[in-house]
């Protein structure tokens, strides 16, 4: 049998939970940028993946805000 990747359904988070996660990711990105500038960052791909995670969080926040607005 071939191995297939399966994705787990993510838990539903509130807008506030998404915003706190966004703040931590932004802090992580800032510290990674500082580490990269100082030459201490072992894997520079962390910068790209963190930026993508931030974009996904911003998209999820926006989608939640739109759905909240439409339900009113």
Alpha carbons 6 and 8: distance in angstroms, whole number: 7
- Indicate whether 10 pLDDT > 80: no
Alpha carbons 46 and 53: distance in angstroms, whole number: 10
The string of pLDDT tens digits covering residues 18-56 is 999 999 999 999 999 999 999 999 999 999 999 999 999
Torsion angle of C-alpha atoms 32, 38, 42, 48, degrees rounded to 10: 40
- Residue 32: CB atoms within 10 Å: 19
∠ CA(20), CA(24), CA(30), 5° rounding? 145
This prediction's pTM: 0.81
pLDDT at res. 47: 96
- Indicate whether 6 pLDDT > 70: no
């Amino acid at each position: 049998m071939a191995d297939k990747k399966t994705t787990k359904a993510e838990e539903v988070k509130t807008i506030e939970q998404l915003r706190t996660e966004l703040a931590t990711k932004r802090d992580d990105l800032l510290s990674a940028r500082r580490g990269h500038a100082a030459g201490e960052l072992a894997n520079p791909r962390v910068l790209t993946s963190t930026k993508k995670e931030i974009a996904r969080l911003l998209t999820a926040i926006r989608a939640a805000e739109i759905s909240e607005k439409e339900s009113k």
